[in-house]
Amino acid sequence: MAKLLTIFCLLLMSPFAWSAAPKVPLPAAVKTAAPDLHLLGAGHLNWLFFSVYNAALWISGDQYTPTRTFALGIDYERSFSSHELVKTSLKEMRRLDDLDAAQLAKYRTDLQHAFPDVKPGDQIVGLCMPGKYTAFYYNGVLHSKIDDPQFCPEFFAIWLSPHTQVPGLRNKLLDLHE
């Protein structure tokens, strides 16, 4: 019986056990700001045994390119403080690109304005208008706008860089079948 229970638990933790792509809706306000966006891919992030969030990537055009408008949405399944979101984002941005102290300080301030505390059921969507700005929507409402063209590629690399800490999620967002 214990062996059967162990096999069942392993199957539940398998990436194939939950193969359906999560449904992450694109808020109407984002559709209005960027009407040509369409869903490219979606995935789920677990950390150890905890369900963290569902994510989706909407793009304009046929494939993702950081030089075209795109949006990344996250539907949270756990609570996180604004401080935790900012700290984790900056840590990953620093890991992916050797940012100087002044740039990190600026991004810290930008992210503190962009990220509220979140709880299960909350959604944050980041809309990247390359070369212009990045807008953050919290539960469907514009929450923050960062008028720094460099911010977008630095921030979204957290999920979309080939060097991300979450390569499985990246592959699902980019609809890569590897």
What are 104-160's pLDDT values in tens digits? 999 999 999 999 999 999 999 999 999 999 999 999 999 999 999 999 999 999 999
The pTM of this model reads: 0.85
Query: How much is the pLDDT for 168?
Result: 94
Between 98 and 84, whose confidence is greater? 84
> Which residues, other chains included, contact 142 with Cβ-Cβ below 8 Å and sequence gap of 6+?
29, 135, 136
* Continuous H helices in 97-150: 101-114
* Cα separation values, 158 from 34, 61, 141, Å: 22, 22, 23
Query: How much is the pLDDT for 22?
Result: 73
Contact present, 96 and 114 (Cβ < 8 Å)? no
> Which residues, other chains included, contact 14 with Cβ-Cβ below 8 Å and sequence gap of 6+?
none
The pLDDT of 79-99, averaged and rounded, is 94
SS3 content of the chain, % helix, strand, coil (to 5): 35, 25, 35
pLDDT in tens, 38-76: 999 999 998 888 899 999 999 999 999 999 999 999 999
| 19 pLDDT higher than 70 | no
Query: How much is the pLDDT for 56?
Result: 97
Query: How much is the pLDDT for 27?
Result: 95
Domains of the chain: 36-173 (3.50.70.10)
> Confidence class of residue 178 from pLDDT cuts 50, 70 and 90?
low
Nearest Cα residue to 169 out of 58, 61, 46:
46
